[in-house]
Amino acid sequence: MKANMGTIDRTIRILLALAVGLLYYFGYISGTVAIVLGVIAVIFLLTGIVSFCPLYVPLGISTRKQ
């Protein structure tokens, strides 16, 4: 598992995940929307932390500077 995400990509993903968490916490989202966005937020948070996006591999994308 080779890192394929740059700093900006990681930062954006983590900030989006935190934003979804805050929206849920303060009650702006609920129900099915909250569940779907929550799952996406968890995926964004995990991929941001480990600097690896499995979807980038088959697409040949890397935002990490060489």
Residues 16, 44 contacting (CB under 8 angstroms):
yes
Could you tell me if residue 64 is inside a domain? Answer: no
Could you tell me if residue 58 is inside a domain? Answer: no
Could you tell me if residue 37 is inside a domain? Answer: yes
Could you tell me if residue 61 is inside a domain? Answer: no
In this predicted model, what pLDDT tens digit does every residue of 3-42 receive, in sequence order?
999 999 999 999 999 999 999 999 999 999 999 999 999 9
Could you tell me if residue 63 is inside a domain? Answer: no
In this predicted model, what pLDDT tens digit does every residue of 56-65 receive, in sequence order?
999 999 999 8
Could you tell me if residue 46 is inside a domain? Answer: yes
> How many folded domains does the chain comprise?
1
Could you tell me if residue 24 is inside a domain? Answer: yes
Could you tell me if residue 47 is inside a domain? Answer: yes
For the chain, the farthest-separated pair of C-alpha atoms sits apart, in whole angstroms, at: 42
Residues 51, 4 contacting (CB under 8 angstroms):
yes
Domain that holds residue 40: 7-52
Q: In angstroms, rounded to a whole number, what is the distance separating the alpha carbons of residues 8 and 31?
A: 31
Select from 19, 56, 55 the least CA-distant residue to 38: 19
